[in-house]
């Protein structure tokens, strides 16, 4: 088999024997396709005996170097693994395909049973590509940006593990929106609309939309509802002066400790993440299967 890609990077989530089994299956497909293979250092360290036998047939490198060396990245793990890869490597513009060894798998679409066929089709150039834009969060303190991070799913302003309300002000494009008391605020991309924002009552957004959703978390007023704004907007959240240890979290993986009066600025990140899927991938099909839309009253299942 000849691939339409020249160099493929492989990243796997640390952990279980199931992850190692899938990594070895992916590595087998990649080596059969005659591409140059580069394993992330941590992935190379955890891969099984089959990988070690083929050590002379692949290279290894730190994660950030994969974005410069590879023209495709394969991620074995769950959506959380893809979130991390998106934040780390989206700026390189390298496309990413996910093998799902996690939970829902909205982003990582290839199942372990489909590795040989579906990954082979992607390597052969038969795939569907989607651009998923990221958010860019910055913390501004006394006029100076003191922390920043991209986020593929969402930026959340909250009080950490404390079960109490916080006060903050919301601005969009320097236009005042409201002062609010709630458990926090979720600012989500279309990709993140099916994650934390959905559980907080936000709308489901198609990944192709150029829009951002702002979802209050259990607001003190029942009239406060999710707000969908244009993707080019800049959002500014000003933390109330009386709140102890508020935080801003990016994808629930990167955490910034805030001080009263800090501003959290959120806008679109410069480079989108290009995700590759098999040709039969459907966003609505994923919603049916992942969100149980296929179920009918009485237990029957709607046809595909």
Q: What is the pLDDT of residues 108-129, one digit of tens each?
A: 889 999 999 999 999 999 999 9
Looking at residue 188, the DSSP 8-state letter turns out to be E
Mean per-residue pLDDT, 22-44: 93
For residue 99, what are the domain limits? Answer: 7-133+272-290
Residues 68 and 143 grouped into a single domain: no
Confidence of residue 104 (pLDDT cuts 50, 70, 90): confident
Average pLDDT over residues 292-297: 69
Residue 276 φ then ψ, to 5°: -105, 140
| CB neighbourhood size of 47 (10 A) | 23
Residue 33 has pLDDT above 60, yes or no: yes
Q: How far is CA 138 from CA 12, 132, 144, 249, 257, in A?
A: 29, 20, 10, 11, 12
Q: Do 20 and 123 lie in a common domain?
A: yes
- The span from the CA of 129 to the CA of 80, in Å, is 20
| Judgement on whether residues 19 and 121 belong to the same structural domain of the protein | yes
Q: What is the mean pLDDT of residues 27-54?
A: 83
Q: Which residue has the higher pLDDT, 3 or 221?
A: 221
Q: Is residue 85, in this structure, part of any structural domain at all?
A: yes
Q: What is the rounded distance in angstroms from the CA atom of residue 172 to the CA atom of residue 154?
A: 16
Are 126 and 157 in a shared domain? no
Total domains, the chain? 2
Active site residues: 79
Q: How confident is the model at residue 233 (pLDDT cuts 50, 70, 90)?
A: very high
Could you identify the residue written with the tokens 């500014």? 236
Q: Domain check: are 168 and 122 in the same one? A: no
232 and 284 share one domain: no
101 within domain boundaries: yes
Q: What is the pLDDT of residue 27?
A: 94
Percent of the chain predicted with pLDDT > 70: 91
CATH of residue 146: 2.60.200.30
Co-location of 277 and 234 in the same domain: no
Residue 222 lies in a domain: yes
> 175 and 95 in one domain?
no
The position carrying tokens 């939309």 is 209
Q: How high does pLDDT run on average in the chain?
A: 90
Supply the pLDDT for residue 271: 94
Tell me, yes or no, whether 117 and 173 share the same domain. Answer: no
Q: What pLDDT was estimated at residue 191?
A: 97
Query: Distance between CA atoms of 34 and 114, rounded to whole angstroms?
Result: 20
Any idea what the CATH number is for the domain that residue 92 is in? 3.40.50.10330
């Amino acid at each position: 088999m000849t691939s339409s890609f020249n160099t493929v990077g492989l990243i796997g989530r640390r952990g279980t024997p199931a992850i190692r089994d899938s990594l070895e299956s992916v590595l087998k497909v990649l080596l059969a396709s005659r591409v140059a293979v580069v394993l992330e250092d941590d992935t190379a360290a955890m891969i099984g005996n089959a990988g070690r036998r083929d050590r002379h047939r692949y290279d290894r490198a730190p994660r950030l170097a994969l974005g410069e060396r590879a023209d495709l990245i394969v991620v074995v793990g769950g959506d959380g693994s893809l979130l991390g890869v998106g934040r780390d490597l989206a700026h390189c513009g390298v496309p990413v395909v996910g093998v799902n060894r996690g939970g829902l798998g909205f982003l990582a679409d290839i199942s372990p049973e489909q590795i040989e066929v579906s990954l082979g089709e992607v390597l052969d150039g038969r795939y569907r590509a989607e651009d998923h834009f990221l958010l860019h969060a910055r913390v501004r303190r006394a006029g100076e940006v003191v922390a920043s991070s991209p986020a593929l799913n969402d930026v959340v302003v909250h009080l950490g593990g404390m079960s109490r309300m916080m006060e903050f002000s919301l601005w969009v494009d320097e236009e005042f929106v409201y002062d609010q008391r709630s458990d926090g605020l979720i600012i989500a991309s279309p990709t993140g609309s099916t994650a934390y924002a959905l559980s907080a009552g936000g709308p489901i957004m198609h990944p192709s939309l150029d829009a951002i959703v702002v979802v209050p978390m259990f607001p003190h007023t029942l009239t406060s509802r999710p707000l969908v704004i244009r993707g080019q907007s800049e959002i500014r959240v000003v933390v109330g002066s009386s709140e102890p240890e508020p935080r801003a979290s990016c994808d629930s993986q990167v955490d910034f400790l805030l001080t009263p009066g800090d501003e959290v600025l959120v806008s679109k990140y410069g480079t989108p993440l290009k995700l590759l899927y098999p040709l039969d991938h459907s966003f609505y099909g994923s919603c049916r299967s992942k969100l149980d839309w296929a179920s009918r009253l009485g237990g029957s299942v709607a046809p595909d």
